[in-house]
Amino acid sequence: MELILGLLVQGGQMLVVLLLAPGLVGLVRKVRARLTRRRGAPVLQPYRDLLRLMKKEVVLAENASWMFRVAPYTIFAATWVAAALVPTFALGLQFSWTADLIAIVALLGSARFFLALAGMDVGTAFGGIGASREVMIGAFAEPAMLLTVFTLALVAGSTQLSVVAAFMASPAVGLRVSLGMALVALVIVAIAENARIPVDNPATHLELTMVHEAMVLEYSGRHLAMIEIAAALKLLLYVALIACVFFPWGMAAAGSGVLAHLLGLAAFLLKLAAGGVLLATFETAIAKMRVFRVPDFLGAALMLGLLGTLLLFVSRSL
């Protein structure tokens, strides 16, 4: 019985993230539009875009290899699995016993790997520029992310997100400087990983300034749809991750009833909306930074993660 419930929750979780991800993107775009005095497209527009792309034919470059065709599905699969591992509305996900935070980082890392390869596959100049920038950003973002994970693991005594979230919701957590540092580091990593301003501009048409968009310029049709939904999933993943670790209120505990799960879902929707609005507001208020400032920006995250971890070690040995 418990297994069935666990599987149900896990299945529901996978469906929820998939269904909500385009909506989050739509919300961020809408808020940005309103903040810049535009009416903006409806929040549901990303769903329509995905449907449209799925119906369209795929235009492939003549010299595209099998890699180019496989990559969108690989990227989508890896990102979806990663997103399924982050507790959104309920703890006690069935998968979380097999995969922890480090697995999430690894899954996202492999998605990045395939995306960068696909960007270079066709051999256009923009794809190469985008891939090189993406890898540069990844080289700083991934260690920062791992250090943040270590901080959390040291505090909670586990790298499993369900355990971390349960611990963070308990009174045992207290007020810790390390956690504050980890939060800031995680937000910085989230911004960089999701190609948001100030690291990248998802709304730009200027190929020379693109990072993520430059890599996927050659994609069309269902391939592009896969890439887009994967990008939306990744954004949702990071919002859910920050919410689950630092704001774990309202989540249904393992083995609780239907009502608790519904409440958990409502709380998650609120958290997502808050995350989306905050992101859009932040993006409107600053300009994009020069490409070579990005390592400084991510370096701050890396140092915060490192300091957080060290602080924990020091305070523990005292």
Partner 1 sequence: MSEPFPAPAVPAAAFRAGPMPRTPVGAAQWVRAAEALGAGAATLASLWASAGEVHMALHDPGQGGVLILSLAVPEGRFPSVARHHPPAQRLERAMADLHGVVAQGAEDVRPWLDHGRWGLRHPLGAREEAGPLPPYPFLPVAGESLHEVPVGPVHAGIIEPGHFRFTAQGETLVRLEARLGYVHKGVDRLMAGASLARGAELAGRVSGDSAVACAWAFAQAAEAALSLTLPPRALALRLVMAELERLANHLGDVGAICNDASFAMMQAHCSVLRERVLRAAAAAFGHRMMRDRIVPGGVAGDLSPAGAAELRALLETVVTRLPPLVRLYDETASLQDRTVGAGTLAPALALRFGAGGFVGRASGRDVDVRRDLAYPPYDVLPPAVPVRTDGDVNARVWIRIREIEASLGLLRLALDRLPPGPVRADLPAPAGAAEGLGLVEGFRGDILVWLALAADGRIARCHLRDPSWFQWPLLEAAAEGNIIADFPLCNKSFNCSYSGHDL
Contacts to partner 1 by CB under 8 A: 32, 35-38, 125-126, 128-129, 132, 197-198, 201, 203-209, 284-293
Residue 225 tokens read as 């749809």
Q: What is the length of the chain? A: 318
* Separation of alpha carbons 46 and 225, rounded Å: 10
Contact 112, 170 (CB under 8 A): no
Cβ closer to partner 1: 105 or 190?
A: 190
Cβ closer to partner 1: 205 or 316?
A: 205
Question: Taking Cα atoms as reference points, which of 254, 249, 245, 246 lies closest to residue 270?
Answer: 249
Contact 200, 236 (CB under 8 A): no
* Separation of alpha carbons 310 and 316, rounded Å: 10
Residue 76 tokens read as 């989508």
Beta bridge partners of 90: 252
Q: How many helices (H) and strands (E) does the chain have?
A: 11, 0
Contact 152, 182 (CB under 8 A): yes
**Distance (Å) of CA 165 to CA 73, 88, 240, 318:** 30, 10, 11, 26
3-state secondary structure of 252: strand
Residue 312 tokens read as 């924990």
Which distant-in-sequence residues (6+ apart) come within 8 Å of 91 by Cβ?
Answer: 162, 165, 166, 251, 252, 253, 254
Q: What are the φ/ψ torsions at residue 252 (nearest 5 degrees)?
A: -70, 130
Q: Given the structure tokens 């297994």, which residue do they identify?
A: 3
